[in-house]
Structure 1
Amino acid sequence: MLKRILVLDNNQLILDTIQEALLYEKFEVKITTDSKDIIENIQSYKPHLVILDYKVSGPKGDAICRQIKNNPHLNDTPVIICSAYLSDNDMELCGCDAVISKPFGLAELLDKVNNLVYS
C-alpha cells in the first residue's frame, strides 16, 4: 500500500514539482491550492503526511497545523510546513513536525518526508 501525502500550496508550479518528486518515490499524492476545506480533505483522504505552505490564502499554514494537531482524529498525522518565513526554530511555535525553508531542494524534501512517514 502506498503512503498518502496531501500537499497544500498556492503556487501550482511548486505543487507540480513536489507531486512529481513524491510520485517518483512511490507515494500517493493529492495536491490542492484551496485551504478553505483542508481539514475536511485531510479527514477524507487520510494522509500519512501533510505538507503545508505557510503563506496561503485563507488560514495560514501554522493555523491549519494547529487545527490538525488539536483534532483527536488527525493529531498523529505528521505535518511539514514549507516557508520562506520560518526556520527549524519555529517548529514548536507552529506545532509542526518539520519545517522546510523555501527555496528548498528535492533531496531535503524527500529526506524529511521519508523520516516522518517511515519513522
Structure 2
Amino acid sequence: MGEAQAGPIKVLVIDDSNTIRRSAELFLRQAGFEVILAEDGFDALAKISDHQPRVIFVDIMMPRLDGYQTCALIKQNPQLKSTPVIMLSSKDGVFDRARGRLAGSDRYLTKPFTKEGLIQAVQETVNPSPPST
C-alpha cells in the first residue's frame, strides 16, 4: 500500500541560523523524529542522498543557494521529487508563498514556529488525512 519505513521518520532541516536548526531539532526529536541538519542548500544536497529524509524543511533566505533554488533542485531529481518540502520563512506574504509553490514546495511554515506547528506540519505531510465528509 505504501512504503513501510522502519524506525523513526527522518526529517531534514535546512537553515543557515544555528538557533533555528537547534530549535527545530529539539522539538522534532522530542516528538520521536530522527533529525538531520544542514546549514545551506549545498550542505543539504550532499546529505539528502545519504539520509533519504521523508520530509524536508527549507529556509528561504540562505546564502549561496536560497530555499527556492534548493527546493527546485530537490524536486527536479527523479528520486526526490515525491519527498515533501516545507518552506520556512519569516515572511508570510502571498508572493513568497506563490514563489515557494512555483519552486515545488508542498507547504509553507512561518517563523518563528511553535513546537506544535512544526510537528503538525510533519505529521500532516507524512500522513495526510482524507477530506472530512
TM exceeding 0.5: yes
Q: Which aligned segments of 4 or more residues in structure 1 are displaced greater than 3 angstroms?
A: 86-89
* Counterpart position of 2:102: 93
In 2, the alpha carbon distance for the partners of 1:100 and 1:15 equals: 14
Displacement of 1:36: 1.9
Letter in structure 1 aligned against 2:115: L
In 2, the alpha carbon distance for the partners of 1:35 and 1:64 equals: 5
Q: Please, which of 41, 58, 61 is the counterpart of residue 64 of structure 2?
A: 58
* Counterpart position of 1:18: 24
Is 1:79 aligned to 2:85, yes or no? yes
Is 1:49 aligned to 2:65, yes or no? no
RMSD, aligned α-carbons: 1.5
In 2, the alpha carbon distance for the partners of 1:38 and 1:30 equals: 9
Q: Aligned pairs, how many?
A: 119
* Counterpart position of 1:111: 120
Larger Rg belongs to: 2
Displacement of 1:7: 0.6
Letter in structure 2 aligned against 1:113: V
Indicate the larger mover: 91-100 or 3-12: 91-100
Displacement of 1:39: 1.6
* Counterpart position of 2:4: none
Task: Using the aligned pairs only, state the percent identity.
Answer: 29
Q: Structure 1, unaligned stretches of length 5 or more? A: none
Scaled by the length of structure 2, the TM-score of the pair is 0.82
Q: Structure 2, unaligned stretches of length 5 or more? A: 1-6, 129-133
Displacement of 1:104: 2.1
In 1, the alpha carbon distance for the partners of 2:93 and 2:12 equals: 21
Matches within 5 A, 1:22-41: 22-41=28-47
